[in-house]
Amino acid sequence: MKLDRNFAAQKYVLHPTRKKDMETMHLPFPRDWNPENLNLPQNWKEIALAKLDELRGKYRELQLFLDICVACGACADKCPFFIGTNDPHNMPVARQELLRSVYRRYFTTAGKLFHGLAGGRELDEDLIRQWYVYFYQCSQCRRCAVFCPYGIDTAVFTMAAREVMSAIGLTPRSLTESIAKCEIVGNHMGMQPAAMLNSISFAEQEIKEETGVDVHVPVNKKGAEVFFLVPSADYFGEPHWHTFKGYLKLFHRIGLDYTMSTYASEGGNFGTWLNYEHMKKLNRKITAEARRLGVKWILGGECGHMWRVLHSYMGTMNVNSDFLEEPVSPVTGTHFRIAQHSKTVHICEFTADLIRHEKIPLDPGKNKEFKVTFSDSCNPARFMGLIEEPRYILRNVCPNYVELDPSVNRERTICCTAGGGLLADETLPLRLRAIKPKIDAIRESQANFLALICAIDKAVYPEYLKHYDLPVQVGGVHELVSNALVMT
């Protein structure tokens, strides 16, 4: 591996939040700024250091990781953004060092006395500018943590650094544009309730045309057993849409008592990538709506970071999901043990369980034109261990299923490289470089259908594949389930 000392990745920097959105979201120091002229408040340094001190006082994992890295370099060439750019700051350990050096300088005795000699670094505008570049070139995918002998997780540093930056008014438009919409309308797309209803009835019509079956989708239905939650791209995105119809057909086929909601119309949570406060704020509507509708448990669609929040954070975030019950499949009676804590079940677990109990008639022949492969998404794989279920489903609904090279898949996956707020046009050249190892694996597999379980994956892969000139169709796992499902 070689290093590019010109710091090539510096040019991929996200556009700043608009003043209007900063005001809407009540972000501190609403103002016009850009990455060259940060236009920081006068006392930004004190605010930033106070915030960092607060965070390291609050989170065990952060203080621990600040202390124990021995810089062995095991993680260095594991970050897709380093692989794509050879920029030394994109080595996970170097990315962490941007924050750790500040910690050493201001919060350790050796750093206070010896500054640079003790590995400390002044927090100045140049450094904070680097933070804004490089902490927004981490998709928090945790691939580095898999290879670290201690499991040190760069996502912990990235989250902390972003929290500090948002306290001094440095946030990217790619996140805040969606968060602002979500906080007002309820979803990242800014889709009003009527538009969502339209979209659902459009899906009902399409299913009727395709299968001749009348499917009715319950919305805002009180007393339903299950609350079904999807990322908002599913309502109209391409290819998300086909997956969405797949869920609806499946629920109709098994007669599930469920409801969707126009209030909690978004499962995704871009707040996760900005700071804890906004993550919490966006998440709150989900538990609130589940409580209002009186459902027993939550079933969630194919999404990436939505699952990170639901599975790993929700249980300790907006406190009480105690009013929910332990999820039990009404069709098979299976208790979903992995969901005991969060009371939310991933659609792939749910469907895999249906297939295992032979509760849905499937005709894999319907997918015989496809040679299907599956790319793991970082959040379901590394944040909740959902690795076997999608594969089990795919083997049952497709006659031709092939695996990708496990060195860039399963728990070691390089996925969309567009998570963590990087989904913006200005990072496209960066993402195209970062995704290359995965694209090579897909090419090698000779598949013609790439199955995915993440809304961002589905949004970006068509673009990537086109760029790399790979004639592969992209779709959700439940799009293939939908094809194979025998409707009556």
Partner 1 sequence: MEPYVVAIAWILPYFTIAIFVGGLSFKSMNWLRRRMLVKWALYPVPTSGPGRIECLLVEIFTLRSLSKTSKGLWIGSLTFHAALILIILGHIRVFSAAPDYLMKQAGMTSIDTLSLVAGGAAGLAIVIAAVYLLARRVSIPYVRDISTVSDYLDILLLMAVFMSGDYMRFFSRVTLDETRAFFMSLAYFAPRPPPGDPAFILHFLVAQIFLMYLPFSKLVHFLGQLVNQKIVVTA
The pair of structure tokens assigned to 21 is: 């959105």
Specify whether the CB–CB gap between 102 and 121 falls below 8 A: yes
Q: Does 406 bind partner 1 (CB under 8 A)?
A: no
> Does residue 105 bind partner 1 (CB under 8 A)?
no
User: Is the Cβ of residue 58 or residue 222 nearer to partner 1 in the bound state?
Assistant: 58
Cα–Cα distance, 477 to 298 (Å, whole number)? 20
Kind of pairing, strands 473-476 and 372-374?
Answer: unpaired
How would DSSP label each residue in 53-73? HHHHHH-HHHHHHHHH-----
**335 Cβ contact list (under 8 Å, min separation 6):** 326, 327, 328
Say which amino acid occupies 40.
L
Binding mask 346-385 for partner 1 (x = CB under 8 A): -----------------------------------xxxxx
Instruction: Give Cα separations from 478 to 142, 313, 357, 475 (angstroms).
Output: 26, 26, 18, 8
**Cα separation, 485 vs 469, whole angstroms:** 31
What is d(CA 140, CA 423) in angstroms, rounded to the nearest whole number?
Answer: 13
Q: Cβ of residue 346: shortest distance to partner 1, in angstroms?
A: 13
Q: How far is CA 18 from the centre of its chain?
A: 23
Is 78 one of the binding residues for partner 1 (CB under 8 A)?
A: yes
Asked whether position 162 contacts partner 1 by CB under 8 A, the answer is no
List 8, 49, 74, 487, residue binding partner 1 (CB under 8 A): 74
Q: Which of 50, 72, 184, 288 binds partner 1 (CB under 8 A)?
A: 72
Tell me how far, at minimum, the Cβ of 395 lies from partner 1, in Å. 19
The one segment of 54-62, 167-175, 215-223, 349-357 that binds partner 1 by CB under 8 A: 54-62
**Do 344 and 269 meet the contact criterion of CB atoms below 8 Å apart?**
no
Shortest distance (Å) from residue 312 CB to partner 1: 4
Radius of gyration of the chain (CA): 23
319 binds partner 1 (CB under 8 A): no
CA-CA-CA-CA torsion sign (226, 229, 234, 236)? positive
Question: Which runs of consecutive H residues, i.e. helices, occur in 418-470?
Answer: 428-434, 436-445, 455-467
Token digits for 347? 């659609």
Applying the rule CB under 8 A, the residues between 231 and 260 that interact with partner 1 are none
- Cβ atoms of 300 and 345 within 8 Å: the answer is yes
Q: How far is the CB of 26 from partner 1 (least distance, A)?
A: 22
Can you tell me the distance from the alpha carbon of 96 to that of 150, in angstroms, rounded to the nearest whole number? 14
Which listed residue (197, 338, 402, 470) binds partner 1 by CB under 8 A? Answer: 338
Residue whose CB is less far from partner 1, 150 or 323: 150
Stretch that binds partner 1, among 9-17, 113-121, 291-299, 328-336 (CB under 8 A): 113-121
- Judged by CB under 8 A, the residue of 98, 145, 233, 481 near partner 1 is 145
Instruction: Work out how close the CB of 442 gets to partner 1 at its nearest, in angstroms, rounded to a whole number.
Output: 22
Q: Which three-class secondary structure state does DSSP give residue 365? A: helix
Residue among 146 and 487 whose Cβ is closer to partner 1: 146
405 is a site residue for partner 1 (CB under 8 A): no
**CB of residue 222 vs partner 1: minimum separation in angstroms?**
31
**Residue from the set 15, 28, 29, 64 that interacts with partner 1 by CB under 8 A:** 64
| Choices 150-158, 257-265, 287-295, 440-448; region in contact with partner 1 by CB under 8 A | 150-158
Please state the closest distance from residue 314 (CB atom) to partner 1, in A.
9
Q: Quick one: 47 or 76, whose CB is closer to partner 1? A: 76
Among 315, 364, 399, 437, binds partner 1 (CB under 8 A): 315
Structure tokens at 119: 């590995």
Number of other CB atoms surrounding residue 205 within 10 Å: 11
- At closest approach, how far in Å is the CB of 177 from partner 1? 25
Q: Please say whether the beta carbons of 261 and 162 come within 8 A.
A: no
Q: Which is nearer to partner 1, 1 or 194 (CB)?
A: 1
In whole angstroms, give the CA distance from residue 349 to residue 343.
13
* Sites of contact with partner 1 (CB under 8 A): 1-3, 57-61, 63-65, 67-78, 88, 91, 93-94, 97, 109-110, 117-119, 142, 145-153, 156, 311-313, 315-317, 337-338, 341, 381-385, 387, 411-412
